[in-house]
Structure 1
Amino acid sequence: MAEQKPKRAPGELKFSYGGQAVIEGVLMRGAHDVSIAVRDPQGQIVEHQEPLNKTMYQGFIARTPFLRGITGLWDAMVLGTKALMWSADVALGEEEDVTFGGAVGFATV
């Protein structure tokens, strides 16, 4: 018999988890958080986890196909750039505090 998939609640979106490689580590993005794990020069794993901005992923923009794509691309560029900058600092032994909020995306473009 065919296996039945569990039903989602009405209006609940399916979410795929993903990630990307960063210098000496990996970035993983989930539905609610972003996490980075990087190896420092001493061989220890340094982790950073932060919640994502909920307003970007809910509401009108999240339900509008073209706008959703633009904001998704922008989000991926900003998160990826910040993660690469942070991982480079950790890999060189110059770890600094980092936040993934704000408008650093203008420097990306």
Structure 2
Amino acid sequence: VTDLPVLPSGKLDRAALPPPRAGDRAAAFVPPRTPMEETLAGIWAELLGRERVGVNDDFFALGGHSLLVVRLIGRIDDEFGVELPLRRCFDATTVEEQALAVLEEGLTDADLLDLLEEER
């Protein structure tokens, strides 16, 4: 295990860290697979100032913060007509997880009854 570079103060010396390998990020990128994921990835990219966002990227790891979450909730409501609770945004931090959360939050009691009937 390699020791991390530290400053005389004992804090991490970020300037001395090697740059991230470009291949690692590119290999991990998974593009949106559904229209909802495409829309969410577009919203995220705009809010976070990113060129592209994959379905497994983490909102907070990409620079998101609580103020951006509030804007995200508004954009999701505008786009899908679903008001995602703040807590869900902190729990569902990837595009994939948020797409599922939007679907779940958007289900009405009538939708649930229809799904139960289909199961029979």
What is the TM-score of this pair, normalised by structure 2?
0.22
- Higher helix content, 1 or 2: 2
Q: Which has the higher contact order (CA 8 A, sep 6+)?
A: 1
- Higher strand content, 1 or 2: 1
